[in-house]
Structure 1
């Protein structure tokens, strides 16, 4: 039976970064992915300054910047009146980070960049089209039951198992960790079009539109050819079926209502998904750890989910490395529990709180509250101190500068 230092389940960006961070420290790693290749469907794309710093440490940042769209600004709009309420400029963070900007780089690109690095590393084994069918933790190691695409079954062992297998995580369910939180009653529709909203409408690369009827988010990604695609996100109506929301008539109606054209929009991709705000009751049980969506999910407004998941991966790799290398001066159990004690409160404070607030701000229906929100945003953008503080938080730089002592209060 093959044995590894760490087995990582899921080859999305979080799993790949976790595997890469461990492999670069000299550990043997097994990366398991149920699909034949990395999922290319439109998902997360925003890569914040704090994450770019971590990708630089893993020698990935040049690839990510070169394959994405650099977004220095983002804007808040009142869609009902057409007013731009506030513009925030990441350049104000130039004394805080080497990367005072956001990069819009699709998550499958980040995962594939990492996979390319992993494939060249001698102590890494990558098992694509392979699913985890069961596992057991005997306190000394974790034994995994794997099934390949040809239904070939095999057993492997690892000192530690890391679940990066998404919101429906088999790993999380396998160790019986609760996934507390709620599901939003509406779903989110994502429409992708090559229409150039910058050239034609004057929008920047990241835009948030408040509207009491139907809010929207608009942002640009590079696309496969680098020429650029624009993603527009809308909420569905509560009584709207998936088929209705994705129909040609509904897609064109939504786009034309917000951004009128004298012709139909070309839509190259459409997707709909349920939106959750949930956090695992613990990010660790025994020799099994959780990272990314397997540990926490949130609405995508603000682009925090993937970023925080990558931060999980880097933090967890450091903790596991300390134990495997015998660097820790305290009990192993206590040292690994520190990952949970740090990462879970940070997620609640910086991701759950912020994304829920972001959604409420966009969908607010009370006109007086909306105007107050707009005034607050405008005043924040006009005040350099508050402007910087806001971006430190929304870019997750504040969260990575936060020590364990703060979150343990």
Structure 2
């Protein structure tokens, strides 16, 4: 592989789908991942219609649907009364997209599907257990230092993309600020096979407002296809990991949520810190940031992974156009000019608002929120507009309009 290859640090779904999109455009690509294998810990799983369009363009849609669950609706609940406040149905977007639904497909499955497709391209390589430890922007190419086995190698390429997560080595080496904040409370995720849909009418995606303890519920297929429900709760600030993950405490949380006879079976417990941060720039010279290395957010609304995939698809298109001399290299400035504002407007603002809506303590404000949701769901025009935004279709269409104006100049 020659030194025109695009180099990618990070083998999560964003890095892998970026590599696949470049390979399909006949661009040489080399990806390096620090871990020994794809991380299969419970993480993001929601794929919105706008992202499904992109997954379809990569030829992965049927496989993603087969390994996931279709979720056409989602709900907002008042947790103290266990009543549905409003339900939204993506079917109203049938005239806007060929995929008027959400697919719940765990991100490690998406990564593995992409890896399998990459095997068909001789000009693409993926190396696990090989962290990118440093790099140099040499003006007309980049050079990265990679730990491979017991030694280090210097590898040349045309560009470098840091898709290496929230603690990104690439972003830190560029000395780009990660602007924003970390929430004082951590999030607890409990995975159980209990069927909340059959027993309580909960949609595969559901958000529960509660002034004392908000919660989320969403269903994934699981690796065995039998179905798993993930319940998300805020942990109290100051609690130790042992206190948050305590078996009796977890059982009490779930029984308070939806009481049932007998104990809940819990397959997996996880606790993690949650951030709202955006890199001050998504590009410096021949080095780019994508996915969590460029932006992180709370998971309420399932937008982070989607925005990362959108980063990857736009960046693949622009890099390919520059490398094939279809567009001037200066056109690459559009990546930061578009993706950073899009993340702030459509991901940061929405996820912050989603969390505030669920944790609202003022009774009057809670009722006002509920009334707004009910009116929105009941009005077809408002219903569609709400879903156009939450599904990220609005952001993609806005991006396309920006590109059309820019490319006609």
TM-score, length-normalised on structure 2? 0.97
Residues 1:377 and 2:361 are matched in the alignment: no
- CA 1:406/1:365 → structure 2, altered by over 3 Å: closer, same or farther? farther
2:387 alignment counterpart: 391
Moved more, 85-94 or 243-252: 243-252
Q: CA deviation at 1:404?
A: 7.1
SS in 1 for 2:11: coil
Q: CA deviation at 1:405?
A: 6.9
Mapped to 1, the partners of 2:214 and 2:347 lie a distance apart of: 20
Residues 1:348 and 2:347 are matched in the alignment: no
Deviations 1:364-389 (A, max 9, x none): 00000000000000000000000000
Q: CA deviation at 1:4?
A: 4.2
SS in 2 for 1:279: strand
Mapped to 2, the partners of 1:310 and 1:242 lie a distance apart of: 31
SS in 1 for 2:353: helix
Q: CA deviation at 1:239?
A: 2.3
Mapped to 1, the partners of 2:303 and 2:322 lie a distance apart of: 29
Give the ranges of 4+ consecutive aligned residues of structure 1 lying more than 4 Å apart after TM superposition: 404-408
CA RMSD of superposed structures (Å): 1.3
Instruction: Answer yes or no: is the 8 Å Cα contact 1:4–1:30 preserved in 2.
Output: no
Mapped to 2, the partners of 1:404 and 1:207 lie a distance apart of: 31
Mapped to 2, the partners of 1:254 and 1:366 lie a distance apart of: 23
Q: CA deviation at 1:192?
A: 0.3
1:130 alignment counterpart: 130
2:256 alignment counterpart: 257
SS in 1 for 2:155: strand
Matches within 5 A, 1:398-409: 398-403=394-399
Unaligned runs of 5+ in 1: none
TM-score, length-normalised on structure 1? 0.97
SS in 2 for 1:126: strand
Residues 1:50 and 2:46 are matched in the alignment: no
Mapped to 2, the partners of 1:211 and 1:136 lie a distance apart of: 50
Q: CA deviation at 1:225?
A: 1.1
Unaligned runs of 5+ in 2: none
Matches within 5 A, 1:137-148: 137-148=137-148
Matches within 5 A, 1:139-178: 139-148=139-148, 150-178=149-177
Mapped to 1, the partners of 2:347 and 2:241 lie a distance apart of: 27
1:26 alignment counterpart: 26
Instruction: Answer yes or no: is the 8 Å Cα contact 1:2–1:156 preserved in 2.
Output: no
The count of corresponding residues between Structure 1 and Structure 2 is: 404
Q: CA deviation at 1:221?
A: 0.1
Residues 1:302 and 2:284 are matched in the alignment: no
Mapped to 2, the partners of 1:278 and 1:201 lie a distance apart of: 36
1:362 alignment counterpart: 358
Q: CA deviation at 1:83?
A: 1.6
Q: CA deviation at 1:238?
A: 1.2
Mapped to 1, the partners of 2:191 and 2:4 lie a distance apart of: 41
Moved more, 40-49 or 134-143: 134-143
Mapped to 2, the partners of 1:303 and 1:403 lie a distance apart of: 20
Mapped to 1, the partners of 2:147 and 2:63 lie a distance apart of: 33
Moved more, 303-312 or 245-254: 245-254
Mapped to 2, the partners of 1:39 and 1:176 lie a distance apart of: 27
1:338 alignment counterpart: 334
Mapped to 2, the partners of 1:356 and 1:403 lie a distance apart of: 22
Deviations 1:127-177 (A, max 9, x none): 1111111111111111111112x3222111010000000000000011111
Mapped to 1, the partners of 2:393 and 2:201 lie a distance apart of: 29
Mapped to 2, the partners of 1:34 and 1:190 lie a distance apart of: 25
- CA 1:405/1:60 → structure 2, altered by over 3 Å: closer, same or farther? closer
Residues 1:118 and 2:113 are matched in the alignment: no
Instruction: Answer yes or no: is the 8 Å Cα contact 1:342–1:404 preserved in 2.
Output: no
Residues 1:292 and 2:288 are matched in the alignment: no
Mapped to 2, the partners of 1:241 and 1:382 lie a distance apart of: 44
